[in-house]
Amino acid sequence: MIGIVIPACNEEAHLKACLNAIQKAIDFVKNQNIHIQTLVVLDSCQDQSKQITQQMNIPFIECQVQNVGIARDLGVRALIEQGAQWIACTDADSCVYENWLLEQIKLQPIDAICGVVQISDWGRLSPETQMHYLEHYQDRMGHHHIHGANLSFSAEAYLKVGGFEAIQCHEDIRLVQRLKAFDLKIIWSNQVRVNTSSRLNARAPEGFSQFLIDLENKNIMTSKQES
């Protein structure tokens, strides 16, 4: 069984597209004879995220922690209890590629897979920010990027290293660091792909959105100094 975990905190603007993309990825591997279970973890939602999840008939659990590390961990452990042997994580503002699950299946057996993200819309950001981002992002096999929006692992490996920490940011990085410390096998693949938003209202301090904000602000300051 494969479990898919999506933490969501007030994600009504993106959640439906996220869940539709996941369903397409599930349909893409329907001939693999693998049971796949999706679980949304609704964390402190005050918008229509719960109603969207219910309307789409997607299982969910709720918590009031405002902490992505705790939310991810709750979802992962709930799915492991249901029998999931492999866990695939993404984010509610992201859309997985149609072959997202297939590429993970093809890489088995493995302890963990770190995939890549592609920004779906650069309209909120300056051309300079886009250029600087693309210059440094390693969209290749053997990259070393870590994204909670595209991180998967075996249940055995997750439990062995203690799971996601109860922190508001970098829970994905800390998990991969522990996987490496235990000398577990990680594949860094650009074939496992996710489109993510370029929103500038960061949910997590120092998360991906904050990284884009900081990069944009740096380019604005540089532009002002040069003018």
Cα 193 to Cα 15, 25, 115, 168: the distances in Å are 18, 11, 6, 24
pLDDT at res. 122: 67
Please report, as a single letter, which amino acid is at residue 6.
I
Contact in structure between 169 and 204 (CB atoms under 8 Å): yes
Where residue 130 falls among pLDDT bands split at 50, 70, 90?
Answer: confident
Where residue 210 falls among pLDDT bands split at 50, 70, 90?
Answer: low
Would you state the structure tokens that stand for residue 184, as one six-digit string?
Answer: 């577990």
pLDDT tens-place string over residues 5-32 = 999 999 999 999 999 999 999 999 999 9
What average pLDDT does this structure show over 38-53? 98
Residue 63 DSSP label: E
Of 50-64, 132-146, 202-216, the range with the highest mean pLDDT is 50-64
Contact in structure between 204 and 69 (CB atoms under 8 Å): no
What average pLDDT does this structure show over 198-215? 58
Count Cβ atoms below 10 Å from residue 136 Cβ, excluding itself: 8
What average pLDDT does this structure show over 37-50? 98
pLDDT tens-place string over residues 56-99 = 999 999 999 999 999 999 999 999 999 999 999 999 999 999 99
Instruction: Quote the crossing angle between the two packed helices 171-181 and 68-81, to the nearest 10°.
Output: 60
What average pLDDT does this structure show over 33-43? 97
What average pLDDT does this structure show over 45-51? 97
What average pLDDT does this structure show over 150-178? 97
The DSSP bridge partners found for residue 196 are: 94, 119
Residue 13, CB half-sphere, CA atoms under 13 Å: how many? 6
Span of 137-146, 190-199, 217-226 with lowest mean pLDDT: 217-226
Whether pLDDT at 214 is above 70: no
Nearest CA to 182 out of 111, 116, 113 is that of 111
Where are the strands (E) in 49-169, listed by range? 60-63, 86-89, 94-96, 112-119, 151-154
What average pLDDT does this structure show over 177-201? 90
Nearest CA to 199 out of 93, 117, 126 is that of 93
Predicted structure pTM score: 0.88
Distance CA 187, CA 180 (A): 11
Would you state the structure tokens that stand for residue 189, as one six-digit string?
Answer: 């693949």
Domain ranges for the chain, please list them: 2-226
Radius of gyration of the chain (CA): 17
Residue 124, CB half-sphere, CA atoms under 13 Å: how many? 13
Would you state the structure tokens that stand for residue 38, as one six-digit string?
Answer: 């999706």
**CATH no. for 2-226:** 3.90.550.10
Where residue 219 falls among pLDDT bands split at 50, 70, 90?
Answer: low
pLDDT at res. 142: 97
Residue 7 DSSP label: E
